[in-house]
Amino acid sequence: MKIVLLQVGKTDDKYLNDGLSVYHSRIQKLMPFEVKTVAESKARQKKPVSVVKKEEAERILAACRKGDTLILLDEGGKSMGSRNFATFLQKTMNTGPRRIVFIIGGPGGVHHELKDRADKVLSLSAMTFSHQLVRLLFAEQLYRALAILKGIPYHND
């Protein structure tokens, strides 16, 4: 079983890359974890947002495999606390997928076809964050959930 974070576009800021590196290392000590990046839509400023979202959704879905459990991170998704997320993650792992793929769309959001294809849509917050910052927030929450499941003293109630 492997967890994959599938994101659109590279992470630009050094502080975000540094933080992601810290959590990537921590997560990999607990289970296989991979970050995959698909390209942003080219000439995105010259195209309608709906076209950009569709192109990016096609790239995301092309990076997915048959049998993957797809979990989209979107501000309109279901919100849950860290312990509930840990329970959700454990239940999802127990269903036996080879990969659980968490998806973070591009700066314009995601196409409705991707939302429809997702097995679950989760929200990290009702607030809107940049798609690049969400990567770090999610990595921390994933590590926190795994620490809860493994009994590692990290999460404080």
What confidence tens digit (pLDDT) does each residue in 14-33 have?
Answer: 999 999 999 999 999 999 99
What tens digit of pLDDT does each residue of 38-78 get?
Answer: 998 877 778 998 999 999 999 999 999 999 999 999 989 99
> For the residues 134-151, what does the mean pLDDT come to?
97
Percentages helix, strand, coil for the chain, rounded to the nearest 5?
A: 45, 25, 30
- Predicted confidence at residue 112, as pLDDT, reads 94
Helix H or strand E encompassing 101? strand 99-104
Model pTM above 0.75: yes
* Angle separating helix axes 131-150 and 82-94, nearest 10 degrees: 80
CA 106 – CA 145 distance, rounded (Å): 25
Q: Which two tokens stand for residue 8?
A: 């659109």
Dihedral of the alpha carbons of 96, 97, 100, 106, in degrees to the nearest 10: -150
CA distance linking residue 62 with residue 38, whole number of Å = 9
- Largest Cα–Cα distance in the chain? 50
Q: What residue type is 87 in one-letter code?
A: T
